[in-house]
Amino acid sequence: MYESGATVTVTFTDDRILGGRIRLRQPAKGYRAGVDAALLAAACDAGDGARVIEAGCGVGAALLAAAARCPGAQFCGVERDAEAAALARHNVAANHLSARVRVLEADIGAGEALDGAPFDAALCNPPFFDDPQALRAPHPAKRGAFMADDGLGAWTGYLVKAVRDGGTVTLIHRADRLADMLALLGASAGSFQVRPIHPFADEPGGRVIVRAVRGGKAPLRLLPALVLHERGGAKHAPAAEAILRGEAGLAWL
């Protein structure tokens, strides 16, 4: 633990994700990495030599899991919160991935540019809300993860600009924002693939994973849904458990 200022003490936990392959230090309270980060990492299929950016990487859960899944790719995480970025750098070093993974501090909403060549792929789990009236006030430590101060359009715009022509943009977000994502990305990207994520097979999907290609023109494809749980069964359905443990990925066409 450490003291932030004179009055606030922050406690951390050291956890294991991706079937124990990745060590992750994160705050004990506030926003903590969960299933969404694991699914985003599983949707990354970057090949050898590819350069991948994650916007809003937090403490690095998805970033590091994706790097472990794609050992030939280079990764860059962008995070505006200085303390989260510091934890992400700690986690990069703790997992001996400093040669392939870096973390930069920049504000996505402000459109702060990155130097260098465009990336081959971009990943993002954007904040789920951009209307302060649509959400009960979250814990202060969670606000940055839940509230997009500059709107979803700032995030999608940043991602599309970050990748080269033919590069991919992959997001996980609320299912009820699917139309917004398609509209925002569609100004300069296409060839959409959409994978619904259902909590149970007989319940509506709560999340979607969307992939777009910058400059893509292919028709939209709706992929088979991933079901996370089976009623009366283990914590996760077998297919979901294999993904969370790093034994399987989420394939694209």
Strand residue runs (E) in 88-242: 101-105, 119-124, 163-174, 189-198, 207-214, 221-222, 226-227
Evaluate whether 124 touches 56 at the Cβ level (below 8 Å).
yes
Whole-structure pTM value: 0.89
Residue 6 to residues 2, 9, 10, 29, 167, Cα–Cα distance (Å): 10, 9, 12, 19, 46
β-partners of residue 173 are: 208
Phi, psi of 19 (to 5 degrees): 65, 25
Give CA–CA dist 60/97, Å, rounded.
11
CA angle 102/146/64 to nearest 5° reads 25
Residues in contact with 136: Cβ distance below 8 Å, sequence separation at least 6, in sequence order:
none
Tens-digit pLDDT string for the chain (253 aa): 434 444 557 899 999 999 999 999 999 988 899 999 999 999 999 999 999 999 999 999 999 999 999 999 999 999 999 999 999 999 999 999 999 999 999 998 777 767 678 999 999 999 985 654 554 444 454 444 443 456 899 999 999 999 999 999 999 999 999 999 999 999 999 999 999 999 999 999 999 999 999 999 999 999 999 999 999 989 999 999 999 999 999 999 9
Please, what is the end-to-end C-alpha distance for the chain in angstroms?
45
Give CA–CA dist 31/23, Å, rounded.
17
Give CA–CA dist 187/55, Å, rounded.
20
Token pair 């066409």: residue: 253
